[in-house]
Amino acid sequence: MVKANGSKLWRQKYQIAGKERTITHGAYPNVSLKEARRKRDDIRNQLANGQDPAVQRRLNQIEAETQARNTFLLVAEEYLQMAYDRELADATMRKKIWHVHTLATELHHRPVREITAAEVLHLLKRIEQSGRRETAKKLRGTISGVFRHAVVTLRADNDPTQVIKGSLLPVKVTNRAAITNEKQFGRFLRNLDDYSGAGVIKDAILFQILTMARPGEVRGAKQLEFDLEERKWTIPAERMKMRRDHIVPLSDQAAAVVNRNWVDVEGVELIFPSLNSNRKWLSENAFNSALRRMGYSKDEVTAHGFRSTASTILNNRGYDPEVIEAALSHQDKNAIRRAYNRATYWDQRVELMRAWADICEEVRTF
């Protein structure tokens, strides 16, 4: 068909159910004579099979649009929402969001069903070759989660990350730097006593040491979590790595730190608030920055390493390893034993915390 403006279209008339219809096959010369004849023959085959070509073309278009909506990014957003609904730890959620929105951008607009193992491996190997082996491994896990969700929602046939498990280099494990020698630890505590920086950070570090808690648990400590009469600090599940409440017995020394940082001002909830606002947390790097100002390098000590300090010294002094693990809120892999330990170790943990606080006082004199 030659239009008045000179453009040329391939058109084909056909009949179905006694009605004449017309279908177009594109413009010439974009669609060649050979291609137009192929499309014509396809229409004839559909008619021979009792199919309406116009209906079939519409179904094909719908299928293409549906596949376009099933991109990796859209499936990944559903996966992230499910992770959020399961109330994963904030740090875990931030890492998964970073994986999806920053590291996996080249997969975003690809139909999830069409992504191959080679494609994913190429992405992971590039990250691995930059020296970030652990990041590559963690990203593979996140991408695997996205594909598993796609499979169960019938938008993918398999998880291509499964066949590349052995294709990544093993992660180089580096333990967090920690002081485990009692004399060196005593020297550190004396240096902490002499620290001339912000008092709230100094006390927060001391409180973390006395309670064997994680830095983030201390930074987020709120007044309503403390029962100072019963000497208990209940860290809610949403702030715990294992997503379960953890009750910490408070020694006299730990309770004294809380008391001197308690502020009876409406709207102030945090025990150790930010220096810029008493309604905001201390920054994630506040503790480690203070340690660097004290003259300790990242290879000598880190804030998270104080848990290893407590564990090593207490184990070396012969305290019950299982009670120490319970105090550190490490989760026993055996579910029955884990429930039993949580129920029976309270009295032992109260005594352990008292002993640990006394040890901290003792090593200061070494």
pLDDT bracket for residue 342 (50, 70, 90): low
Q: For residue 319, what are its two tokens?
A: 């305290």
HSE-CB at 133 with a 13 A cutoff on CA atoms is 10
Is the Cβ–Cβ distance between 359 and 309 less than 8 Å? no
Query: Which pLDDT score, from 0 to 100, does residue 242 have?
Result: 62
pLDDT at 209: 97
> Residue 70: what pLDDT?
86
Digit-coded pLDDT (tens) for 2-17: 989 989 999 989 888 8
Q: Indicate the pLDDT class of residue 89, thresholds 50, 70 and 90.
A: confident
Average pLDDT, the chain: 89
Give the residue extent of every domain in the chain. Answer: 8-66, 72-167, 182-363
pLDDT for the residue numbered 308: 94
pLDDT at residue 329 above 90?
A: no
Percent pLDDT > 90 in the chain is 64
What's the chain's Rg over C-alpha atoms?
A: 32
CATH classification for the domain delimited by 8-66, as one of 3.30.160.390, 3.90.550.10, 3.40.50.10860, 2.40.50.140 = 3.30.160.390
pLDDT digits (tens, 9 = 90+) for 107-152: 999 999 999 999 999 999 999 999 899 999 999 999 999 999 999 9
Q: Is the pLDDT higher at 55 or at 324?
A: 324
SS3 9: strand
Residue-wise pLDDT tens digits, 252-304: 999 999 999 999 888 889 999 998 888 899 998 999 999 999 999 999 999 99
pLDDT of residue 245: 83
Please state, in angstroms and rounded to a whole number, the distance separating the CA atoms of residues 179 and 182. 8
Residue 254 phi/psi, 5-degree rounding, is -65, -40
How far is residue 315 CA from its own chain's centroid? 31
In the block, tokens 């990350």 appear at 161
| Dihedral pair phi/psi, residue 248, rounded to 5° | -110, 120
Q: Are 167 and 93 in contact (CB under 8 A)?
A: no
Residue 51's pLDDT is 83
pLDDT of 333: 52
Question: Is pLDDT of 337 > 60?
Answer: no
Whether 341 shows a pLDDT value over 60: the answer reads no
Q: Is residue 335 scored above 90 in pLDDT?
A: no
Contacts of 209 (CB under 8 A, 6+ apart): 189, 306, 309, 310, 360
**What is 182-363's CATH superfamily?**
Intergrase catalytic core (1.10.443.10)
pLDDT at 41 over 80: yes
Of residues 344 and 182, more confidence is placed in 182
Confidence at residue 83, expressed as pLDDT on a 0 to 100 scale: 92
Alpha-carbon distance of 249 to 258, in angstroms, equals: 13
The model's confidence at residue 90, banded by pLDDT at 50, 70 and 90, is: confident
pLDDT digit string (tens) for 301-319?
999 999 999 999 999 999 9
Instruction: Look up the CATH superfamily of 72-167.
Output: Tyrosine recombinase, N-terminal domain (1.10.150.130)
Tell whether the model's pLDDT for residue 201 goes beyond 60.
yes
Q: What is the pLDDT of residues 52-86, one digit of tens each?
A: 888 888 877 777 766 666 899 999 999 999 998 98
